[in-house]
């Protein structure tokens, strides 16, 4: 039998070059740090590695999931069940006074993580000069990775913890960067600082998007985690409604059941916004994305249609914040479920010391 000729290139040479731009994912780095440490055997470990809910999912939603297990035999529709899109649009209407067409302006997702990544792949034009994605800093690692894999460069926007910090950061971005920008990621309430952008800041972003011709993708996964007696965080669609219908054409918002409903394992969320943007994402996801199983969609409808369990979740996190802040000298966040601590500089060293103790 004849042998194959010697390869002209090594397997590594055949990879998408953008893969080489990806930096180690934070959880991989954290796993290596943990492997190097022997924790205190006298104390039970507290899991502070992944930002996942520490509360039980709502029983009523799990019951709906269980009652529709037989529907796992069917392929789900590519754009999701009409009832799920309608439930998401209705929730956006109640929560943000947003009027959206569920058929053209809402798209279910397998968790917002994949949607946040997919939107860059669907919307970035790598043939334009200096394709740029502006990302908040600190940021969810997916924003940076999505920019790299779309052939763009991420530009960090130091958001700080106060509204004025964000507006000052916007003003400090060179006009040339805005001219190259094709996509801006926002996260409000912010992961991990807990800061919340006011309507004026969101409107400023939309004005910039109109002036410089880019899309705004708002990660609003923590929008429902705020003090029970506080003001619900403003959303991008609320701000766009103040500016007229045209502003929505440049806006995408991403929402998830992971934090709101303590259903991180369900992998269910949606994106909503301009019809043209949603159509582009839907076309991309027919090749890349995975449609939610029908039982998951049925459970998601139940979750988006109920607020009682969400109010209970807010109260539970408030109790935990009260307990933590009685011992720690740090700022209470306006939203989200993180405490943003000053650890004195060396974050990796701090993590190792804390785990050892």
* Structural tokens at position 240: 């766009």
Cα–Cα distance between 242 and 158 in angstroms, integer?
A: 26
Q: Two tokens at 93? A: 């209407």
Q: Is residue 327 part of a domain?
A: no
pTM for this model (two decimals):
0.93
CATH number of domain containing 146: 3.40.640.10
Q: Identify the domain containing residue 122 by its residue range.
A: 59-308
What's the CA gap between 135 and 83, in Å, rounded?
A: 33
Strand 153-158 to 132-137 pairing: parallel
Is residue 188 within 8 Å of 195, Cβ to Cβ?
Answer: yes
Structural domains counted in the chain: 1
Q: How many CA atoms lie within 13 A of 277 on its CB side?
A: 28
- pLDDT, one tens digit for every residue, the chain (357 residues): 667 666 666 666 778 899 888 888 887 888 888 888 888 888 888 777 777 888 999 999 999 999 999 999 999 999 999 999 999 999 999 999 999 999 999 999 999 999 999 999 999 999 999 999 999 998 889 999 999 999 999 999 988 777 788 999 999 999 999 999 999 999 999 988 899 999 999 999 999 999 999 999 999 999 999 999 999 999 999 999 988 866 689 999 999 999 999 999 999 999 999 999 999 999 999 998 789 999 999 999 999 999 999 999 999 999 999 999 999 988 899 999 998 888 887 888 888 888 888
Q: Is residue 340 part of a domain?
A: no
Q: Is residue 185 part of a domain?
A: yes
Q: How long, in residues, is the chain?
A: 357
Tens of pLDDT, residue by residue over 153-192, are: 999 998 877 778 899 999 999 999 999 999 999 999 998 8
> How distant is the alpha carbon of residue 81 from its chain centre?
22
The answer to whether position 270 is within a domain reads yes
Q: What is the dihedral of CA 137, 142, 147, 148, to 10 degrees?
A: 110
């Amino acid at each position: 039998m004849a042998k194959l000729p010697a390869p002209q290139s090594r397997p590594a040479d055949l990879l998408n070059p953008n893969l080489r731009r990806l930096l180690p994912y934070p959880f991989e780095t954290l796993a290596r740090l943990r492997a190097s440490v022997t924790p205190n055997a006298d104390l039970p470990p507290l899991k502070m590695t992944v930002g996942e809910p520490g509360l039980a999912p709502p029983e009523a939603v799990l019951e709906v999931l269980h009652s529709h297990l037989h529907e796992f035999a069917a392929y789900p529709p590519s754009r999701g069940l009409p009832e799920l899109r309608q439930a998401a649009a209705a929730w956006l209407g109640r929560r943000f006074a947003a009027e959206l067409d569920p058929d053209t302006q809402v798209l279910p997702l397998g968790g917002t993580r994949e949607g946040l990544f997919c939107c860059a792949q669907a919307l970035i034009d790598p043939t334009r000069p200096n394709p740029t994605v502006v990302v908040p800093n600190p940021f969810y690692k997916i924003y940076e990775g999505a920019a790299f894999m779309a052939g763009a460069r991420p530009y960090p926007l130091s958001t700080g913890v106060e509204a004025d910090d964000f507006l000052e950061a916007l003003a400090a971005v060179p006009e040339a960067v805005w001219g190259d920008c094709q996509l801006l990621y926002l996260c409000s309430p912010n992961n991990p600082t807990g800061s919340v952008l006011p309507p004026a800041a969101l409107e400023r972003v939309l004005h910039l998007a109109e002036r410089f011709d880019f899309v705004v993708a708002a990660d609003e996964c923590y929008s429902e985690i705020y003090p029970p007696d506080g003001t619900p965080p403003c959303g991008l669609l609320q701000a766009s409604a103040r500016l007229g219908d045209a502003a929505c054409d440049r806006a995408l918002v991403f929402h998830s059941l992971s934090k709101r409903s303590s259903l991180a394992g369900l992998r269910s969320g949606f994106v909503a916004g301009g019809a043209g943007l949603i159509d582009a994402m839907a076309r991309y996801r027919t090749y890349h994305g995975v449609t939610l199983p029908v039982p998951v969609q049925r459970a998601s409808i139940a979750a988006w249609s109920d607020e009682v369990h969400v109010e209970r979740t807010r109260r539970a996190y408030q109790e935990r914040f009260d307990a933590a802040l009685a011992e720690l000298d740090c700022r209470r966040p306006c939203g989200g479920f993180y405490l943003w601590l000053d650890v004195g500089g060396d974050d990796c060293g701090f993590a190792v010391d804390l785990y050892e103790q």
